[in-house]
Structure 1
């Protein structure tokens, strides 16, 4: 019959926790108590659970790295919340999650952070990548040379050996925005401005691509102005929209693929065009919900940032702990449409 920790504890006159600490070498037990527990365990014929110990050791060895681009936006805060939840779960099981934010679009910082993660001994890396050839090469080196699997989150990167992507289908999001823009402008928009964050964010560039492609199919006569980049900064976005409206007073709509909504709404308001220009944006935030209520923003196309942060870490944990491979290469989040009537 298998000898249990409870039987040893009763025979030694100590708690089960004390027996567990002695048998698993966790310390914090007086030497004379430890000696008594080990002697009784031997007399009763206790056999350690080698599989259980192996699992504990495996969990302790799991180190996961996370690198995100810190834009300071409400959306990134939701991604960070998801990462924090996953970190708490992994570390509750004895693993470790290192989180390293880098400045938005800063390639050198990201390369440094990736090297730091390798030095930490991570066995998996979740990465919000920058679309840059040097980043691409290091991702492939992680896989081929270091045997460290990489999961991309929020933004994907082509021609790499990353194992899967967790985030929105950005091109489909852009197509959705085009369809909605046509609907709110009665099917025939005359002129649309597109304002984005930075060119090196593939999620943003794919939204633009989807929007332009679908708008061309739905309303070929619509003039789509060249994309302007605000670097997710409200002052910059206000300057951009002000300059656009001075040159294009007949503007019908604005598609915003990134943060910068406040600057755009402020610029439009100062020129007395609130409500006349239809705005579709992409961030679910309390600020944007207020703009919906006042009709300064017409529609929001959102994504689940918490899930992106959480699942990108947990995909790696399941792979490292139980060799559970991702079920699919593209783990897309739901495309959520918000109006003032459903917030």
Structure 2
């Protein structure tokens, strides 16, 4: 029966319903009048065979062009968001076959104000769907309510936000990803050693929804694992190596029992650069995302492990979920959790962050 469903044709549906192929065509494309009796018979057959119209054929039958807004952080080559954008670009090529266009809007991930300005630009135009990075949770929730009121479907990537009427989420369970990082450290240091928790600040505001969720999962795991050491928070600057060195030198002098370190975003190379330059090779460092600068430090043995989340797949499947909804009306699963990959020095050569 599954093979039959794959090859079901309009003429087959017409034969089973006892109507003409033209009548079935009018029902499938919602054009022209059809009697209530014929409509009932056709719908019964469609339900029985689980008919799924070809996506390309449906889009070609309509001359309407749809446009998606993609709202993600700006990035430089080699950044985490460059990998997400690579997946979006691949999906955009496929979406064009269905008369769906993708437009990108960027904001500074360290600055709430730029996110608000970006939303203002999006509001000035009409879009049929939105893919949204969820770094600033409170602002995202408010915007999601606006989209709900307008009946515009939207997809979340990066991290999930409960209570929103999203079409889908593509990403990891951030809290579980935090637990994984904690396990990777706890297995390598003494239970009473101290752990440095680095947060990276830039201009404006810092701290994303995902980072907060990861840190919550990290702390929860250590609490359950009987960890007795201290978590020592430190704020570092994105592009100020001299400042970071001064702050970290003072921290290590005051706290000689630091044996582990973690960052909850993709910038663990900042801590790694310091550890290598200062000769602190006894500190186990865990970070997130296999971007080139993190990968270099992992291969050099400065970073102990990286937790990865298939960023290109998030971007690709997020766009295609919106495309499928707009063209065919199909809704897939709401929560689409990416695997939480553990990347070590021994297996990094096999890891591809562009995997779809």
What TM-score comes out, normalization by structure 1 length?
0.76
* Superposed displacement of residue 320, structure 1: 0.8
Structure with greater Cα Rg:
1
Matched, 1:321 2:324: no
Q: How many residue pairs end up in the alignment?
A: 288
* Superposed displacement of residue 218, structure 1: 0.9
Alignment of 1:300-339 (within 5 A): 300-327=306-333, 329-339=334-344
* Superposed displacement of residue 64, structure 1: 0.8
Segments of 5+ residues of structure 1 without an aligned counterpart are 1-50
* Superposed displacement of residue 57, structure 1: 5.8
Q: 2:174 aligns with which of 163, 170, 176?
A: 170
Alignment of 1:83-94 (within 5 A): 83-94=88-99
Contact 2:157 2:169 in 1 (8 A): yes
* Superposed displacement of residue 244, structure 1: 2.3
Contact 2:191 2:227 in 1 (8 A): no
Matched, 1:184 2:191: no
Contact 2:59 2:98 in 1 (8 A): no
CA deviation digits over 1:27-81, x for unaligned, max 9? xxxxxxxxxxxxxxxxxxxxxxxx9997436464221110001253521110010
The 3 A distance-change label for structure 1 pair 59 and 291 is farther
User: Which residue of 1 is the match for residue 257 of structure 2?
Assistant: 250
User: Which residue of 2 is the match for residue 74 of structure 1?
Assistant: 79
Contact 2:307 2:343 in 1 (8 A): yes
Cα distance in 1 for residues equivalent to 2:237 and 2:128? 33
Contact 2:266 2:291 in 1 (8 A): no
Q: 1:261 aligns with which of 257, 268, 275?
A: 268
Cα distance in 2 for residues equivalent to 1:202 and 1:265? 24
Cα distance in 2 for residues equivalent to 1:326 and 1:229? 40
Q: CA RMSD in A?
A: 2.5
* Superposed displacement of residue 188, structure 1: 2.1
CA deviation digits over 1:215-239, x for unaligned, max 9? 111133121123x344655636555
Q: Secondary structure at the match of 2:342?
A: strand
Alignment of 1:210-289 (within 5 A): 210-226=217-233, 228-230=234-236, 232-233=238-239, 235=241, 238=245, 240-273=247-280, 275-289=281-295
What TM-score comes out, normalization by structure 2 length?
0.74
Segments of 5+ residues of structure 2 without an aligned counterpart are 1-54, 349-356
Q: Secondary structure at the match of 1:309?
A: helix
Q: Secondary structure at the match of 2:326?
A: helix
